[in-house]
Chain A
Amino acid sequence: MGIRFVLMVNKQGQTRLAQYYEYLNLEERRALEGEIVRKCLARNEQQCSFVEHRNYKVVYRRYASLFFLVGVDNEENELAILEFIHLLVETMDRHFGNVCELDIMFHLEKAHFMLEEMVMNGCIVETSKSNILAPIQLMDKA
């Protein structure tokens, strides 16, 4: 299962979105998030965007005050995941218009729906922004 989880975390280390593609209970989630956030947030701009943690590779990227962290298994292509993160950000940007942390906080379910359109079962199924947003825009109209 390519992608195992997607996290969005702010500079202070608070989780803003957490989507897991395998079941972890609350304690496991909290522990995992804590460890990964500590590891990734300590790194600076000149360092690479890949961190190995437990049996995951974590690919992360920072946009303004928000970190996007994606946990993948060992077979996954790191650069493709970076592109995926970028696509996700662009998609949200198109929808919210200059997306920021607050947009995601107050529209968490929409962020989840977008992810749902893009990734299922850890596989990327949709990479076209308009296709991703079409159902969400329909929902907004309704």
Chain B
Amino acid sequence: MAGPSLMDSLFQRSVDDIIKGIRLSPPGTESTFIAKSLDEIRREIKSTDPQTKATALHKLTYLHSLHGADMSWAAFHSVELSSSSAHSHKRIAFLAASLSFNPSTTEVILLLTHQLRKDLSSSNVHEVSLALSTLSSICNPDLARDLTPELFTLLSSSKIFVRKKAIAAVLRVFEQYPDAVLVCFKRVVENLENGDMGVLSAVVGLFCELTEKDPKSYLPLAPEFYKILVDCRNNWVLIKVIKIFAKLAPLEPRLGKRVVEPICEHMGRTGAKSLAFECVRTIVTSLSDHDSAVKLAVGKLREFLLDDDPNLKYLGLQALAIVARTNMWAVLENKELVVKALSDVDVNIKLEALRLVMCMVSEDNIMEICRILISHALKSDPEFCNEILDFILLTCGRNFYEVIFDFDWYVSFLGEMARIPHCQKGSEIESQLVDIGMRVKDARLQLVHVARDLVIDPALLGNPFIHGVLAAAAWVSGEYIELSRNPFEIMEALLQPRTSLLTPSVRAVYIQSAFKVIIFCLNSYLKLNGDDPSYPSESTYSDVKSDYPGRFETVASQLLSDTEPDNPNMVVKHGQKPSVSSKMHHLTLESLVALVNLVETNLGPLAGSNEVEVQERASNVLGLIKLIKPKLLGCLDTREGDKANGELKASEMVELIFGAFSEDLGPVSLNAQERVPVPDGLVLKENLRDLEEICGDIELPLSTSFSLVKLQTMDATSNLEHHSKEEFEPSTESTSLLAEHRKRHGLYYLPAENAGIISNDYPPAHDPKDKASDETEDLVKLTEQSLVIKKKPNQAKSRPVVVKLDDGEGFKVAAKAPEFKADLISGAVQEVLLGNEATTSSSRRKSSKKSSKRREMDESNVGVPESKNEIVKADMPEIGFSSSGRRKHHGHGKERKHRSSGKDKVHDHKDKQKSEHGHGKHKSRQRADGALAAQSPVIPDFLL
């Protein structure tokens, strides 16, 4: 490409030309125009004429900023132009740099260091300000390190215009180069007392950002912030300073007591909604234990909620949600406003209102609230409808259906939700249906009804969103088929032609359920026929029957209508079990054969399905039919003769399979495994890498000497701690894995009541021989007992028993409090503040000594930094000369003083206090010296 010619410079297009060109180019051709312009720019930017170059760069910046053109290739040209003597060129260059440079990858940034340093020291404030803006947007660690001295000078510049920008730029520099804190922090703090709003705004803004990251380090500055809070009249500054207190107050209760009054004052006095809202938000988040303030704040919130402005309404609801955590009454007081907001035109407001409504839920009002919400869901758009469903499911399912008393209602309600046209929450409804089936025995009957209605409706099969729900319904129908009114009807529903619309995994559930149904029918029939009293499933069956006597009446009557009565001699009769046989006597062999045939016809084709799950399950059922059918037909043919014989064989099989299905999967306690005692000598924490060594040796005896060997090889400290416990507890490693497993498969662990019982399918590896067998037997007994107890519903309680897992809370695994990783900035800040604080507090104490009365008044002012020191001390024990012992003593003295600060006691302790005070001062001086001395080598130049 040729260099730029004179013609190029003469006829260069201006930025305006480019903008006009883009506007005039017909739609779709813009990118061609831009590409063409970029080609021009590439040529022009190489020009030696600074004006041409500046214009080119300007155009490029425009295209980059608004049309997404890449300009990383032009980074060097920005650097080049930045040294231009013309201010307008410099501006363009720095603007281009700040809009396009990537602080972490643009390499030419380093080349800017010199230019920036020159500009920062310039006498022209505009150049300085430009350099500061640029620095704050492209700052990287190198730049920060190299320019810290210049920045330090500017922090106390006499020109306000420059000073405020220097303060704002400092934040970025601190982030990139934490050592700058040591240099600059003191000067930044000094600016807190500046009277200029620009400076104050910048410095308070800076501290607001810093406090957000690590509030603790800035507690010592509370008195300065407090002064601003009381004296300042600028809303921007006040908002920021209140934000700072919102972060500091929770750390220091005395501070909260102190600031709550001025904040309330601001809230009452101000006409600015932004400031009022900030006060409200701070009170409800950080000062929520000051009742009168919270009352005031809630009153203000109500004004917001009643306002027509949607912004205030939205923020009001948001703040109300914060109040709800600590003061529920505030929400209840504004209940009608919240419900009204549910039908707002703005979805954001509706969502906030929904969140609040769900806060209000209790077991008394859950049904009412759900009814209201569902009616809202039905008339809102699909998106919000699903939000509502989501919230309902979440709230109702929380903590094992804590708010649900009437499970029959809830189960029906789940069915209703699944039928809402826009419902996309199938998977959640699915898991709750199954979960309730397993946990709440008393709800099963209603559950089966709901499931029947879902399974039987062919229209639902077409909606892929609720296939999950159908899977759950099918599972429930199969699992609890004995509670069904009409198993035949269920079977037909499970096999209906439209099931082909289901996904394979759901279809597999359908087939498996059909399997359960057919086994149930066969078993019922055979059991009625052969009146063998030792029939194993008899007991299960009569259990069920006695639990639900009424329902079986209906089973019988339904069966009556379903079966053809034209074969009276096939009707089962006997006298031994009149109650059962009279109910089931219409379960005829014919109807059974018809059922088997139905299954065979429907599942036959599926044996060749491509989907393995479907194919396998269908084959299972077909295999069974193949075995059973001849026997059944045999019975049909030979009538009385061979019947008993054939039946016997069939019954054996059916009985076996039925037995397998009728076994209830009981939950297993979360800590069942934990309670298995670790036998003596078994060390679970054994490091297996040592296995070779151990194996290489002759077998070692399982004794204490064994663990001693291990002791040496393993991590010494952790082992020492754990060693004694290990004899009795499982290792932490295995428990954490176990906990993980529990979290995933919580259902299969025993509930809390059985915690004491050890499951016998986890036999201790090394049990003393004599005990082993006994224990196992005992365990079996205990487990059985507990299961029996569980089966009896507690009649005294109105709420059905919900089987819970042992450590219900285990689900919400408390996030480990992140270890305090001393972040570099706060570390540096603490370092500076410690020195700083020592001097200020000692000087303050000097003045306070003059009048003890004033001292008492100012106590919180003095006291705050005092306690601060203790906190700081905890993190930075190595600073200064003062030993921790001394400081502790000092703190004690202070504390005593606080305790005795009650008015009547003041005199008694006056002398003592005085002496202690002097003591304290002396020490703090020492400390101050120490801190300064410790600091001095770091910043030799600037403190002088």
Interface residues of A (CB under 8 A from B): 1-2, 14-19, 21, 23, 25-26, 29-30, 43-44, 46-52, 75, 77-80, 82-83, 105-106, 108-109, 112-113, 116, 120-128, 131, 135, 138-139, 142
Q: Contact check, A135 vs B348: say whether CB atoms are below 8 A apart.
A: no
Q: Given A18-B66, A109-B95, A46–B345 Cβ distance below 8 Å? A: yes
Query: Which one of A44, A78, A127, A139 lies within 8 Å of B88 (CB-CB)?
Result: A139
Residues of A contacting B527 in the complex (Cβ-Cβ under 8 angstroms): none
Residues of A contacting B65 in the complex (Cβ-Cβ under 8 angstroms): 17-18, 108
The number of residues on chain B lying at the interface, defined by a beta carbon within 8 Å of a beta carbon of chain A, is: 63
Other than A116-B133, A120-B133, give 19 A-B pairs with Cβ distance below 8 A.
A2-B209, A14-B66, A16-B66, A17-B65, A18-B65, A48-B311, A50-B315, A51-B348, A75-B243, A78-B311, A79-B273, A79-B277, A80-B278, A82-B274, A83-B274, A106-B19, A108-B62, A121-B172, A139-B87
Q: Contact check, A120 vs B348: say whether CB atoms are below 8 A apart.
A: no
Q: Given A123-B206, A126-B164, A48–B313 Cβ distance below 8 Å? A: yes
Q: Given A30-B68, A47-B310, A80-B236, A142–B208 Cβ distance below 8 Å? A: no
Chain B nearest CB, measured from A33 CB (Å): 9
- Stretch of B196-204, B291-299, B647-655, B694-702 at the chain-chain interface: B196-204
Residues of B contacting A78 in the complex (Cβ-Cβ under 8 angstroms): 274, 277, 311, 315
Closest to A8 in B: B66
Residues of B contacting A135 in the complex (Cβ-Cβ under 8 angstroms): 126, 129
Closest to A122 in B: B209
Query: Which one of B126, B133, B197 lies within 8 Å of A127 (CB-CB)?
Result: B197
Q: Contact check, B58 vs A47: say whether CB atoms are below 8 A apart.
A: no
Residues of A contacting B235 in the complex (Cβ-Cβ under 8 angstroms): 80
Query: Which one of A30, A125, A138 lies within 8 Å of B201 (CB-CB)?
Result: A125
Q: Judge whether B136 is part of the interface by a CB distance below 8 angstroms.
A: yes
Q: Judge whether B239 is part of the interface by a CB distance below 8 angstroms.
A: yes
Q: Judge whether B16 is part of the interface by a CB distance below 8 angstroms.
A: yes
Q: Given A15-B66, A78-B311, A142-B88, A120–B132 Cβ distance below 8 Å? A: yes
Q: Given A75-B243, A121-B171, A25–B102 Cβ distance below 8 Å? A: yes
Chain A nearest CB, measured from B357 CB (Å): 18
Residues of A contacting B348 in the complex (Cβ-Cβ under 8 angstroms): 47-48, 50-52
Closest to A138 in B: B126
Instruction: List 9 A-B residue pairs with CB atoms under 8 Å apart, sorted by A's residue number.
Output: A18-B66, A21-B137, A48-B314, A77-B243, A82-B274, A83-B272, A121-B169, A125-B164, A139-B88
Q: Judge whether B255 is part of the interface by a CB distance below 8 angstroms.
A: no
Residues of A contacting B197 in the complex (Cβ-Cβ under 8 angstroms): 127-128
Q: Contact check, B346 vs A47: say whether CB atoms are below 8 A apart.
A: yes
Closest 6 interchain pairs by CB? A79-B274, A123-B205, A120-B168, A47-B346, A48-B310, A48-B314
Residues of B contacting A23 in the complex (Cβ-Cβ under 8 angstroms): 102-104
Q: How far is the CA of A32 from the CA of B58 in the complex (A)?
A: 24
Q: Contact check, B205 vs A82: say whether CB atoms are below 8 A apart.
A: no
Q: Contact check, B165 vs A82: say whether CB atoms are below 8 A apart.
A: no
Query: Which one of B132, B201, B313, B314 lies within 8 Å of A124 (CB-CB)?
Result: B201
Chain B nearest CB, measured from A56 CB (Å): 14
Q: Contact check, B168 vs A106: say whether CB atoms are below 8 A apart.
A: no
Q: Contact check, B168 vs A109: say whether CB atoms are below 8 A apart.
A: no
Q: Judge whether B686 is part of the interface by a CB distance below 8 angstroms.
A: no
Q: How far is the CA of A16 from the CA of B161 in the complex (A)?
A: 28
Q: Contact check, A108 vs B66: say whether CB atoms are below 8 A apart.
A: yes
Q: How far is the CA of A39 from the CA of B15 in the complex (A)?
A: 31
Q: Contact check, B87 vs A109: say whether CB atoms are below 8 A apart.
A: no
Q: Judge whether B823 is part of the interface by a CB distance below 8 angstroms.
A: no
